[in-house]
Structure 1
Amino acid sequence: MSLKENIEMVKEELTSEEKFFEKAVVTEKFIKKYKKLMIGSVVAITLFVAGDIAYNISKQHTLEAANQALLTLQKNPKDEATLATLASLSPNLHDLWVYSQAVVSKNIKELEKLQNSQALLLGDLSSYEVAQNLQDINKLEEYAEKQDAIYQDLAQVQLAILLMHDKKIEEAHSKLSMISVNSPLAQVSRALMHYGVK
Structure 2
Amino acid sequence: MKITPLALAITLICVLAVLAGTTAPAVASDAGGIVGGIFGALIGTVREGEARNDWQKVNREVKTCLSKRINVSIGQLVQKAIDPTDPRLRPYMQACEQQVAEANAQLQQERRIAGLRREQEEAAKEAAAVRNAHARAQKVARHRELIAKYGAKIASDIEARRVRIGMTKEATIAAIGKPNSREVVPPSNELWSYGTKRIAFTNGKVTYVGN
Judge same fold: TM > 0.5, yes or no: no
Q: Kindly indicate whether structure 1 or structure 2 has the higher relative contact order, using CA contacts under 8 Å at least 6 residues apart.
A: 2
When Rg is computed on C-alpha atoms for both structures, the one with the higher figure is 2
The two structures have a TM-score, normalised by structure 2, of 0.33
Larger relative strand fraction: 2
The two structures have a TM-score, normalised by structure 1, of 0.35
Larger relative helix fraction: 1
